[in-house]
Amino acid sequence: MRVRDRLERLGLEIPPPQVAPENVRLIYRRLVRWGGIAYIAGHGPTDGSGWGSPLGQVGSAVSVEEAVAAARLTALNVLGTIERELGDLDDIGCWLKITGYVNAVSGFTDHAHVMNGFTDLVVDLYGKERLGARSSVGVASLPFGMPVEVDAVVAWSE
* Structural domains of the chain, with CATH: 3-13+31-156 (3.30.1330.40)
Report the candidate in 121, 150, 146 with the shortest Cα–Cα distance to residue 135.
150
Are the C-beta atoms of 147 and 74 separated by less than 8 Å?
no
How does pLDDT run along the chain (158 residues), one tens digit per residue? 899 999 999 999 999 987 776 777 778 889 999 999 999 999 999 987 777 779 999 999 999 999 999 999 999 999 999 999 999 999 999 999 999 999 999 999 999 999 999 999 999 999 999 999 999 999 999 998 999 999 999 999 86
Alpha helical stretches, state H, the chain: 3-9, 64-86, 111-126
Cα four-point dihedral sign 39, 158, 121, 47: positive
Evaluate if pTM is beyond 0.85: yes
What was the pLDDT predicted at 60? 96
Task: Give the model's pLDDT for residue 23.
Answer: 74
122 in Cβ contact with 153 (< 8 Å): no
Amino acid at 71: A
Q: Would you state the pLDDT for residue 85?
A: 95
User: Residue 119, SS3?
Assistant: helix
What per-residue confidence (pLDDT) applies to 123? Answer: 98
pLDDT value at residue 112 = 98
Report angle CA 109, 112, 115 to the nearest 5 degrees.
Answer: 130
Residue 26, classified by CB atoms within 10 Å of its CB into exposed (0-12), middle (13-18) or buried (19+), is: exposed
